[in-house]
Amino acid sequence: MNNARIAEVFDQIADLLEFQDANPFRVRAYRNGARTIRDYPEPMTVVLADADRKLTDIKGVGKDLAEKVAALCAGETLPLLEELQSQVPESALMLMRIPGMGPKKAAAVFHELGVSTLDQLREACQAQQVRKLKGFGAKTEETILAGIGLAETIDVRMTWAQADQFARSIKDWMRDCEGVEQLEVAGSYRRGRDTIGDLDFLVVSNQPQQVMDRLAAFPEASLIGRGPTKISIRLADGLQVDMRVVPEKSFGAALQYFTGSKDHNIILRGRAKERGLKINEYGVFRVEDDEETFEAGRTEEEVYATLDLPWFPPELREARREFDWAAAGSLPELIDVGDLRADLHMHTTETDGKATLDEMVAAARKRGLKYIAITDHSKRVTMARGLDAQRLRTQWKEIDKVNDKLRGFRVLKGIEVDILERGGLDLDDDVLSESDWVVASIHYGQNQSRADITKRVVDALANPYVSAIAHPTGRLINRRPPYEIDLAAVYDAARKHHKMLELNANPARLDLDDVACAAAKSRGIPIVISSDAHSAEGFGVLRYGILQARRAGLTKADVANTRSLDAFLKLVAKGRG
DNA sequence: GCCGTTTTCGGCCCGACTGTTTTCAGTCG
């Protein structure tokens, strides 16, 4: 039972409790616990096995949740979960995914109409049964009918890079609008999450109607709702866009509020209360005898300062460790894309890349990088025409020639060697020993058992010539889940052999993800942020990797490819023993 | 269900918008 599965169980309990209209704070306790455990850098089983530590020392895990974690880790079932499941069918939870349907309305159709699936609800709406219920009407019935289709498909969150395209086109669209004094994208986009559910725009203007008219006219968008200061639309492909218009003196408070995360904000408001303050999207107010006086709101710095807090980079606002860091005065100075001096995973036309060695070198130099590693595929990856020993050595001779001509730039002789299904590497040690840099990765046998996949990777890390594991979980966002792998065992092996782990910057990969990177960092394992570029433009993805690294709290020092070539090669040499 | 330099009970962030209502509950972020 790993942390992710425990978190899933707690989220499921929260869903079921919510459907039953349980105490909302109890629901939150389960969600909080789920999030805390999902983000926790060590497996719960490790904490349980340690006699000196208690689960209840983890903030958000009390006596009750601790017992449930222990039960789950012991392979037991939870009586509470079984009881809830016997009362609420799994399919009924889908009802709450319809926009506008919360726990109250879902429970009403379930109990009073016996509706427990989306299909049954569609029929009930078409038979005009729903509008007869108390609190429902014809309009609600229409909204539900329109929303059922969304509930069936809305599960997909787009990658940050995809959302970025929409954010840019909306920014362009709004640029011509008079009355827009300032415009920012807030929400999970600003926090740099790997996936984005909707876009939140914040505008400073004293002509809110005009601004909202402009957004409402966005091509092929439909209106979800609109009030005096807030508008929501849905773009043709389903993405929801919210916009809020605030006066200038509230801009910082509103930006802070709409950037979130929700959990970060809840903690903030709790702190405000302790100080006799109130925070909302309009500012920070001192509350005395029912009188509210404006204290701050123009900038985010101002808002945080009223709570004796530093400004937090948006990527850290996840209610993970940022408040502890602030209290200790040890907020990390996050890595920036300009800190990268190298890119250590890329392909050329020798295998499945679209650019030649020379073109990749030129593109890397243009970007300001100081060194790169060419890591084409090895022979097992037949689809990409992977390299055998002979072709690899030929490529390395070419690289020698290129290096002879270059000043102030170096190309490392590398390879992305496949970790074979049966274990072991796709090229022999005598070839690998002639390289400067080897990344190993899994392409085949992704459906193997957790034990098998973990062993393949751990064994690869033990090979003296392997310096790093590339895309260590193999996930492709919205297309393929991560393979079953015991990352804790991978961290142990990496630390033991002085190896590195990759954060693959491809926006659909981004593995190790933010949580895993933070866990690796806490064990002192250097991270390599790599583009996995297959073209000259491929280096552009590095910024997505940087966003995840920042979310993990990584500094320049935590990332190996921020180092000078000499320092980097020393790190590689350490792993080669 | 969690938490505590206002501790073991009584809190738990806060406001906009919609639809069904005549003053507000439910939902959302």
Separation between the CA of A50 and the C1’ of B1 (whole angstroms): 25
User: How many Cβ atoms from other residues are within 10 Å of residue A549's Cβ?
Assistant: 32
Asked if the Cβ of residue A198 lies within 7 A of any atom of strand B, the reply is yes
Separation between the CA of A12 and the C1’ of B1 (whole angstroms): 15
So what's the pLDDT on residue A150?
78
One domain for residues A460 and A559: yes
Q: Which of A274, A308, A328 is the last residue of a domain?
A: A328
Separation between the CA of A558 and the C1’ of B28 (whole angstroms): 39
In a domain, residue A252? The reply is no
In a domain, residue A251? The reply is no
One domain for residues A475 and A343: yes
Query: Whose C1' is closest to the CA of A58: which nucleotide?
Result: B2
One domain for residues A234 and A271: no
The separation between CA A465 and the C-alpha centre of its own chain, rounded to angstroms, equals 31
Asked if the Cβ of residue A85 lies within 7 A of any atom of strand B, the reply is no
One domain for residues A349 and A322: no
So what's the pLDDT on residue A94?
87
Give the integer Cα–Cα distance in Å for A201 and A189.
Answer: 10
- Whether the bond between A512 and the residue before it is cis, its omega within 30 degrees of 0, is yes
Asked if the Cβ of residue A26 lies within 7 A of any atom of strand B, the reply is yes
Tell me whether residue A98 is exposed, middle or buried, using C-beta atoms within 10 angstroms of its C-beta: 0 to 12, 13 to 18, 19 or more.
buried
Looking up residue A142, the CATH number of its domain turns out to be 1.10.150.110
Asked if the Cβ of residue A59 lies within 7 A of any atom of strand B, the reply is yes
Return the nearest residue to B20, CA–C1'.
A135
- Bases on strand B under 7 Å from any protein CB: 1-3, 6, 11-21, 25-29
Side chain identity, residue A541: V
In this structure, are residues A12 and A81 in contact, taking their beta carbons and an 8 Å threshold? Answer: yes
Query: Whose C1' is closest to the CA of A280: which nucleotide?
Result: B14
One domain for residues A237 and A262: no
Asked if the Cβ of residue A5 lies within 7 A of any atom of strand B, the reply is no
Separation between the CA of A62 and the C1’ of B8 (whole angstroms): 14
Separation between the CA of A270 and the C1’ of B13 (whole angstroms): 7
Query: Whose C1' is closest to the CA of A64: which nucleotide?
Result: B1
In this structure, are residues A415 and A391 in contact, taking their beta carbons and an 8 Å threshold? Answer: no
Q: Which of A328, A346, A375 is the last residue of a domain?
A: A328
So what's the pLDDT on residue A154?
60
Looking up residue A345, the CATH number of its domain turns out to be 3.20.20.140
- pLDDT tens sequence for chain A (577 residues): 888 889 989 999 998 998 888 888 899 899 989 988 988 888 899 899 988 889 999 988 999 999 999 999 999 999 999 999 999 888 888 898 888 888 889 989 998 999 999 999 999 999 999 999 988 988 889 888 888 887 776 667 889 998 999 999 999 999 889 999 999 999 999 999 999 989 999 999 999 999 999 999 999 899 999 999 999 999 988 889 999 999 999 999 999 999 999 999 999 998 998 888 999 999 999 988 778 899 999 999 999 999 999 999 999 999 999 999 999 999 999 999 999 999 999 999 999 999 999 999 999 999 999 999 999 999 999 989 999 999 999 999 999 999 999 999 999 999 999 999 999 999 999 999 999 999 999 999 999 999 999 999 999 999 999 999 999 999 998 888 899 899 999 999 999 999 999 999 999 999 999 999 999 999 999 999 999 999 999 999 999 999 999 999 999 999 999 999 999 999 999 999 8
Asked if the Cβ of residue A238 lies within 7 A of any atom of strand B, the reply is no
One domain for residues A74 and A124: yes
Separation between the CA of A76 and the C1’ of B16 (whole angstroms): 44
Number of domains in chain A: 4
Q: Which of A220, A246, A272 is the last residue of a domain?
A: A246
So what's the pLDDT on residue A295?
92
Residues 61-80 of chain A in contact with strand B via CB under 7 angstroms: 61-66, 80
Closest listed residue to residue A385, CA positions, set A431, A435, A347? A347
Separation between the CA of A169 and the C1’ of B11 (whole angstroms): 45
User: How many Cβ atoms from other residues are within 10 Å of residue A374's Cβ?
Assistant: 27
Separation between the CA of A471 and the C1’ of B11 (whole angstroms): 46
Range of the domain at A113: 3-151
Residues 270-329 of chain A in contact with strand B via CB under 7 angstroms: 270, 272-274, 278-282
Asked if the Cβ of residue A92 lies within 7 A of any atom of strand B, the reply is no
Residues 527-556 of chain A in contact with strand B via CB under 7 angstroms: none
CA distances from A338 to A167, A459, A478, A518, A557 (A): 23, 34, 30, 21, 13
One domain for residues A289 and A226: no
